[in-house]
Amino acid sequence: MSIKFRLILSYLAMLVIPALLTIIAALIILYFTVGKIPQKGLEPSLFRIVADRGKELFSEFDQITLEAPDKLQDKKYLDQFDDKLKILSTGIVVYKGDNLIYASEFLKKPEILDEISNSSFDIRERTRSRTRDRGDMHNPIFVGNKTYNVFGKEFAFSDKTPGKAFLVIDVKPISDFAVKYFSALGYAMIVILILTNGILTYLVSRSILKPLRLLRRGTEQIKEGNLDFEVKAGSRDEIGQLCLAFEEMRKKLKESVELQLQYEENRKELISNISHDLKTPITAIKGYIEGIRDGVADTPEKFDKYVGTIYSKANNMDRLIEDLFLFSKLDLKKLPFNFEKINIKSYFEDCIEELTVDIEKRNVDIILDSSLGSEVQVIADREKLKRVIVNIAENAVKYMGKDTGSIKISLREFGDMIQVCMEDNGQGVDTAELPFIFDRFYRADPARNTSTGGSGLGLAIAKQIIEEHEGKIWAESESGKGTRIFFTLRKA
């Protein structure tokens, strides 16, 4: 859920929830203020009963004044009628002529009776005219700080004596109830608004602030150099997406730092290896030169031997520097490649023909085994691919360890790739050392004996070139039986 949608829901909830809770609170307050008739089943509320009872009593009052006015002289009847009116906070006052013949107990005060007697009007005629003019159905009177609503009737007793009867409602109990009820309802509304706002604000802010705190702690961890932590996205909203992006950034940054550390370690190792591989021939050259300068090479044969060794060591150094330069350009991806379509079978036939002369001098045979048709082509750089073949072949000859050896080159087709296998029958490589033979400067000889020559970069260069061709290179070997180097090329 997006933050925008969440805020919209929160806004709607702030409108709907308080309204619903206020209605519920109003009903609850009404229940505890007025109560219900304790009868079984769904009984009407006391308000409904009071309202219905009021209609009955006012109708009875109207009917008595019209049809049986003499009942208003019967004290027993008036006491019973007065008891019925108490539920409405209402009393009755009856005059016969100018004489007061009955008044409810709470109305027996001269100031109240004076105001009532001055409110003579016919409820059927005058109050209706007042309704049209003023919008009410009663005539209010004010005595002290109290208000009474007066409903009056004028009639004649059976002896033709004029009479007046009044129903008087004490407004104060009703107003007290209204004040009490609406005050309680107002407090309830305030509490509902505060709780609703507080809960919704807490829920919405927690969903926003919690991931923000995680992000802040994450930035502090990165600032302190610690990248070994995880920021988990708890949602899919905008902040959750930000957490995912932050976590991706942390992973990339960690990979970058680890790669940088690896580069630094490789750089130190490279410097150490270069120093070792350069120092060994330089030391030998210096020793032979000192021997010549000191007159140790006192015969033409010794002199030629010393000079030949110096020349050989210089060539080894030159080859090492050349390989280092090539490897560095490959590693930095600054060596241009000229890819083209090559007939793979014809290409290997030409390469083997060039290699045969030099390899056969060292008693090693090289043969080609191909199941490919003459039309199969690959995408490759001729010169770089030749460097791969030469490096693998020279490495095989160098570590052959036998008087006579052989190198077999097999070409096979696998889907959209061509697999090349260069297999020798040399001394092989131990299983523990096999994963490292494509590392730069790696030699199986722990003492890094350079008597066999080479820079230790041949297979590392081959790996770089094959990877630039979007291929793979790997090795299989059995100690004492030989080694197989595989690599793949993309078909055209």
d(CA 149, CA 90): 9
* Tokens standing for residue 67: 């049809």
Phi-psi map region of 379: left, alpha, beta (phi>0 left; psi -120 to 50 alpha): beta
Nearest residue to 97 via CA among 157, 160, 162, 154: 162
Q: Which amino acid is at 387?
A: R
Dihedral Cα 97, 102, 106, 108, nearest 10 deg: 50
Local structure of 76: helix, strand or coil: helix
Q: Which residues of the chain have pLDDT under 70?
A: 1-6, 30-53, 119-138, 172-178, 233-238, 266, 270, 441-455
* Tokens standing for residue 444: 């199986």
**What pLDDT shows up at residue 40?**
38
Helix, strand, coil abundance in the chain, percent, nearest 5: 55, 20, 25
d(CA 342, CA 349): 12
**What pLDDT shows up at residue 341?**
92
d(CA 134, CA 137): 9
d(CA 192, CA 21): 7
* Tokens standing for residue 384: 């770089």
Local structure of 92: helix, strand or coil: strand
DSSP H helices, 373-413, are 382-398
Host H or E run for residue 259: helix 238-293
* Tokens standing for residue 89: 């906070």
Side-chain-side CA neighbours of 362 within 13 Å: the count stands at 19
* Tokens standing for residue 313: 């060591």
Predicted TM-score (pTM) of the model is: 0.48
Q: Which domains does the chain have, with CATH numbers?
A: 3-43+179-210 (no CATH), 46-172 (3.30.450.160), 227-335 (1.10.287.130), 337-490 (3.30.565.10)
- CA-based diameter of the chain, in Å? 178
d(CA 146, CA 161): 32
Local structure of 449: helix, strand or coil: coil
**What pLDDT shows up at residue 174?**
63
Residue 356: other Cβ atoms inside 10 A: 14
**What pLDDT shows up at residue 176?**
64
Residue 236: other Cβ atoms inside 10 A: 11
d(CA 172, CA 113): 18
Host H or E run for residue 90: strand 90-96
Write the pLDDT tens digit of every residue in 169-184.
Answer: 887 666 666 677 777 7
**What pLDDT shows up at residue 486?**
93
Local structure of 453: helix, strand or coil: coil
Write the pLDDT tens digit of every residue in 338-353.
Answer: 899 999 989 998 888 8
